[in-house]
Amino acid sequence: SDLQKQEERGELLQPLIFVLLVLCSILLYFKVSLMDPGFVKPDEEEGEDKGQGVVILQLPGDIKLRRCGYCLVKQPMRAKHCQQCQHCVRRYDHHCPWLENCVGERNHPLFIVYLSVQLVVLLWGGHVAWSGLYFEQSWEWLQHNIFLLVSFLLILIFTIVVLLLLVSHLYLISCNTTTWEFMSHHRISYLQHSQLENPFDQGIILNLWRFFC
């Protein structure tokens, strides 16, 4: 049959990989959106954060960890209370409206993987949509290709958004800072009183290693 011939020629491999990437993207979406991003539990001690000892030594001695004014837990360094989730989140980055969940210490690496897979899917889909277009200056052509043209434009917009989001996050990770710390540097006490502009920065290689590994 035609299907067997296509399989023998390897023509079914690319569509299969594309479908698997789409499924992987969907699974990653649900994983990141449903998992605990690093909620601070009431019974946790303030000094329990991994890798914070070196950082705290670089900060002025008069900066003390405080209790959250909303949920009253001892707030570790770099944690922030999220009004939407009603929890304090360790190494809080931001609350993502698309995920309906915070991006924090536990799910931030998976969030980067999700964005990467999503970007590959969008680039592949954009290539497929573009390859199906052949341009003619006629109303009949527009009627027959309007759906494909709109699909390509939407894919292009989403690709630019995801690419910018991924690049910005990778830059912040390489500096060992978060979106919240980058945007609110002037309002965060442990950054305001620090002698260093970014007391958590340990070099690009070590920052990436500690984040992903």
* Residues designated catalytic: 96
Residues 6 or more apart whose Cβ sits within 8 Å of residue 115: 162, 165, 166, 169
Q: Which helix (H) or strand (E) holds 138?
A: none
Provide the β-strand partners of residue 74. Answer: 67
Token output for 18: 């594309």
Rounded to whole angstroms, the Cα distance separating 172 from 92 reads: 13
- What are the tokens at 160? 């630019």
- How many Å apart are CA 169 and CA 162, to the nearest integer? 11
Q: In a 3-state reduction of DSSP, which class is residue 88? A: strand
| Inter-residue contact 179 to 89 (CB < 8 Å) | no
From the centroid of its chain, how far is CA 28?
11
